[in-house]
Structure 1
Amino acid sequence: MHINSIGQGSDLVLVHGWSMHSSVWSPLLELLSEHFRCHLVDLPGHGQSDWHEGDFELSILLAKLAEALPEKAIWLGWSLGGQVSLAMAKHYPDKVKKLIMLAANPCFVQTDDWPCAMPPEVFETFSASLAEDQQQTLQRFIMLQAKGANQPRQVIKQLSEQLAQQHEPHPQALQAGLECLANWDFRDALKTVECPVQLILAENDHLIPVSLVEYVQKLQPKLRIDVMTGLGHAPFISQPQQCQLVIEQFIHE
């Protein structure tokens, strides 16, 4: 697994979302690396990380991350990366000093008792389109992430450029990532995790609804929740300085 470390200070692990790679953090990295030693993870089959069958099996993925990354780090995970980071905090508590979930849902797809997530029929349609046309599906996903942002064209441009910088993700890695989003349910992990946790949501996110707030508060009353107004699924691209401030306020609490 490819991990690039930049900057000086306390250890901060950054885990990207589905279909992207660690360069997506560039706007935020310029700010955070002034104060933190940032460890940029490329998930299996993404960016510069190779793909092997089974790499997204949770126990295998977490073991590889635990081996490669420092103890007592702050973990910042975006979307799918937020779920990965939450699972790390649960299964490897010595690794995670504080946890920041950015535009992430402990259970990504709706269930009868978890309506604050993506409708299963929408998810299934999206999954089917990946098998038919990967490139078109990735572009559609970029549009979804930009939707609701105060400057959607800027977000589309930056995400498209970041995706083009590396080889496209491995098709099996993309499929495995979608299976994780469909099947992972880390609500119990959020309920029982012992480290301080921050959830950053975006008001206009079309993938992670802001209605999530009332449900996660019931699971974890100590959770710090910040909602960024006027932004979509990638707030750290639209407003990196504002995002940095929200993150660092939590870290320095």
Structure 2
Amino acid sequence: MTRLVLLSGWGIDARIWQPLAPYWPDGIRVHTPDWPGYGERIHDLLPKTLSGLADEMRNDLASDAVWVGWSLGGLLAGALLSHLPPPRALVLVGIGARFCSEDGVRPAELATFRRAFDRDPRATWQHFLRWQLQGETAPGMAHRRLLDLLGGHPGASSQTLALGLDQLASLDLGERLAMPPCPIWRLAGERDKLLGKTARQAADRILTDCGHCPMLSRPEALASHCVELAHTGYGHRPAQDGSVS
């Protein structure tokens, strides 16, 4: 049995993975936990430290699974490699070593977004839903699908979302990508407007005809890539010294 743990990104809970459900083949066991403060765990406090987050997610992030982290979920999963036993593999979807880059979302752009969020969290969250869909082939249709999944209200408190913006601004996986404790693969939509060109070119696989949200625009292709990489991960196991055996 191949196990996948799917982790959602900023402002969006685990319901984002529902469109992939019809495409999982036999022999794949999928777990879609919410981060603390999101979705079914909306009343839990999102820990401010990575060590605290690791304690909260320890039962969900099993070492015999392949973790798939999308956007902020990928950054958090990568950061937790320093606090939890490494998984079979980590798949980063729609994220590079960091969220901000000079050829993608610039730090000043994120700072402007954070100021807008401080003024009106809900309206800024709604703007973000559209912003991340601008690279999709049919962004209007993708937006309707997203609202059908999530409704018109964030599945997280303003405090949780604000802490998530801090994480987007500060988390950096550069060291982990340079010295990974397990296989790490990156998937990128070829028209992902939140990823800079450099990050897209560094991806191991490119998803064509989609942007930042392939689970909405190309769920079958995303599921297929995740399964292929998971099977590869189950054929490799990190050795005690951090190398891949």
* TM-score (ref. length: structure 2): 0.86
CA RMSD of aligned residues (A): 2.1
Of 127, 130, 133, the residue aligned with 1:140 is: 127
The answer to whether structure 1 residue 233 and structure 2 residue 198 are counterparts is no
Q: Report what 1:41 is aligned to.
A: 33
Aligned residue number for residue 70 of structure 2: 78
Question: Which residue is equivalent to 1:106?
Answer: 97
**Hey, what's the Cα distance between the residues in 1 that align with 2:33 and 2:161?**
16
Q: Cα deviations across residues 103-160 of structure 1 (Å, max 9, x unaligned)?
A: 01221123xxxx3542111101111111111221111111112101112122101112
Which of 181, 186, 198 is the matching residue for 2:173? 186
How big is each residue's C-alpha offset from its partner over 1:149-191, in whole Å with a ceiling of 9 and x where there is no partner?
Answer: 1121221011122221876410100000000000111210111
Displacement of 1:48 after TM fit? 1.3
* Closer, same or farther: CA 50–168 of 1 in aligned 2, 3 Å: closer
Structure 2 portions without partners, runs of 5+: 233-245
Q: In structure 2, what is the Cα distance between the partners aligned to 1:166 and 1:144?
A: 16
Residue 88 of structure 2 aligns with an amino acid whose one-letter code is K
Number of residue equivalences: 232
Is 1:96 matched up with 2:82? no
> 1:26 aligned to 2:18?
yes
**Match for 1:164 among 145, 151, 161?**
151
- Secondary structure (helix, strand or coil) at the match of 2:186 reads strand
Q: Residue 211 of structure 1: SS of its match in structure 2?
A: helix
Distance 1:134 1:73, change over 3 A: same
The alpha carbon displacement at 1:101 in A equals 0.4
Once residues 140 and 78 of structure 2 are traced to their aligned partners in structure 1, the CA distance between those partners, rounded to angstroms, is 31
1:135 counterpart SS class: helix
Once the two structures are aligned, what percentage of the paired residues are identical?
Answer: 27
CA contact (8 A) 1:73 1:95 kept: no
- Are the structure 2 counterparts of residues 120 and 165 from structure 1 closer, same or farther at C-alpha, using a change threshold of 3 Å? closer
Match of 1:221 in 2: none
Once the 2 structures are TM-superposed, how far is the Cα of residue 16 of structure 1 from its aligned partner? 0.2
Aligned partners of 2:50 and 2:80 also within 8 Å: no
**Cα drift, residue 102 of structure 1:** 0.5
CA drift of 1:89 comes to: 3.0
1:131 maps to a residue whose letter is D
CA distance in 1, matches of 2:222, 2:165: 26
Amino acid paired to 1:75: W
Shift of 1:225: 0.6
C-alpha distance in structure 1 between counterparts of 2:70 and 2:95, whole Å? 6
CA drift at 1:236: 1.7
Contact 1:21 1:46 in 2 (8 A): yes
What is the match of residue 235 of structure 2?
A: none
- Report matched runs for 1:215-230 at 5 Å: 216=202, 225-230=204-209
Between 1:191-200 and 1:72-81, the stretch displaced more is: 191-200
Amino acid of the residue matched to residue 120 of structure 2? D
Q: Does 1:242 align with 2:221?
A: yes
1: distance between equivalents of 2:186 and 2:151?
29
Match of 1:219 in 2: none
